[in-house]
Every structure is written in C-alpha cells, then in structure tokens.
Structure 1
C-alpha cells in the first residue's frame, strides 16, 4: 500500500537522488550544466512547496510538491516507473484539490501521462520558470 508523509530537510538528499535518477531517465533534453544548476537549487525549490514523500513500506517511491492547486513537481524513482504508482499519487493529489500542472514540452512521456489523467493544455511558454530555453506546457483539469 502506497502511503505518504510530509518530507523534511532530512529527506532532501534522498529526494535529490530520486530526482537525479528520474531526470536521467526522462529529461534527456536537459543540458548537463542546466541539470547541475537545477539540482543545486532543489533544496530551495523544496522549501517553496508542500513536499510529500510517497512510500511503499519503508522504500521511498517518489515525491511530490504542490502549491495551492498546482502540482509543481512529481518525480518517481525509475525502478517504480510504469507500475501505477504515479497514477495513484496523481489521483490522491487531484482528490485533494490539485487541478493544474506544468510540464516540459520535450518530456513527451510526462505530457502523455497527464493527458491520460484528464489534463488539457491551456497555454505554452517558450522558457521555463528560470528563463531557460525549455518550453513549458501549462495543463489544467
């Protein structure tokens, strides 16, 4: 059974490792220097969201970060990909009021995942939130 708990600073290193493995598996469009810069900023990003760690028994499957009604981040450890955990997490977050998410345009797998779960594109930005040249698709239920 998948459970969740608020994440704290003591979890940051584990969550950063999950982020790194997940990004390696899904974000092949990121330049190495951008990946490294984002990774260094993760502790700051974590502090800006309601951060949850999602667990199967004692193993952390992934984490999510929300702000208001927006899913800001959802990353799974790649060993848990395509096993239904992302869907379970997203459905719980939707039940709790999430109705918006933004996704990198180049991350086709994530875009398709959100579309399959009822999200529709409402706008597009040429740059990401830090003005990097990675287009963002803004989705809403």
Structure 2
C-alpha cells in the first residue's frame, strides 16, 4: 500500500480531529475515566490543537483517519481512528515527522502499552518517566527519544 504525503488540517477541521481523538482514546486509553476523557477533550479542541503543527491523512471520502501534532523536535500527539490502526498510517506519519520535520522525541502514557511498543519498535528509547501527566493527573508519562 502506497501512502501519500500527509495533509495539513485547518481550523475548520478541528471538530473532526477532536472526534477522531475521542474515538482513538476510547479504543486505546482504557485506563482513563470518563470524566478525564471529557476534561481532555475540551483541552484538545480548545487549546492543544492550536499549539502544534498538524499533519494527517484522510480516507477516500475526505474524512480524517489519522493525525499528529508536532512542536519543535517533539511529537506531541498521534491519533488514529480504530479502523485505521495497523494499516501503516501511524508509521508513515512518524517517518515523515522524523525525516522531514526533524522530530526525535515523544511522550507517551505508560499505561498505553500498545503505543509504547509502537514507539519502541520504531527506534525510540525510554529516557525518563514522570509519575503524573502535565495536568497533574495520575497517569505516568514516559519520555522517549530516538
């Protein structure tokens, strides 16, 4: 399967990206409580999407199926629709981010074991750990670097 270069979402896409984020999180972040998902969803939509450079893929119908957010040399977010997982979109986004955008770092929830394994498989190594996330919630964060 040949995957093309990612597209750049715009502000008018942020509602769709937030919906994609929620579907992805519900499929991969079983450790989160419902109130946490609601809390983070608001931050994603109203703050975090504005703080990163966004890149992603759409399906043939023009719906977003995967996106990432980059800030400096760091991958700040990577989310895929559950139906898009395992098809190479995440790997292609990471390869683009590394080769074209120069990222070499990512933070990941320690409890999201599939994501941790994904990044380790792509060559990232754990260089640190925080016991809580950046909002002070009890979700340990692993710091990874290429």
TM-score class normalised by the smaller sequence: over 0.9
Does structure 2 conserve the Cα–Cα contact (< 8 Å) formed by 1:2 and 1:55? no
- What's 1:69 paired with? 73
- 1:53 paired to 2:56: yes
Does structure 2 conserve the Cα–Cα contact (< 8 Å) formed by 1:104 and 1:136? yes
- 1:12 paired to 2:14: yes
2 CA distance for matches of 1:6 and 1:64?
A: 10
- What's 1:108 paired with? 113
Alignment size in residue pairs: 141
Does structure 2 conserve the Cα–Cα contact (< 8 Å) formed by 1:103 and 1:110? yes
2 CA distance for matches of 1:2 and 1:112?
A: 25
Deviation at residue 69 of structure 1 after TM alignment = 0.3
Structure number with the higher strand fraction is 1
The normalised TM-score by structure 2 is: 0.92
Q: CA RMSD in A?
A: 1.1
Alignment deviations for residues 69-125 of structure 1 (CA, whole Å, 9 cap, x no partner): 000000011111111111111111110201000000000000000000000000000
1 CA distance for matches of 2:56 and 2:12?
A: 12
1 CA distance for matches of 2:107 and 2:132?
A: 12
2 CA distance for matches of 1:2 and 1:34?
A: 34
Query: Comparing 45-54 with 101-110, which one deviates more in the overlay?
Result: 45-54
Does structure 2 conserve the Cα–Cα contact (< 8 Å) formed by 1:3 and 1:56? no
- What's 1:125 paired with? 130
Structure 2: state its 5+ residue gaps.
Answer: none
- What's 1:136 paired with? 141
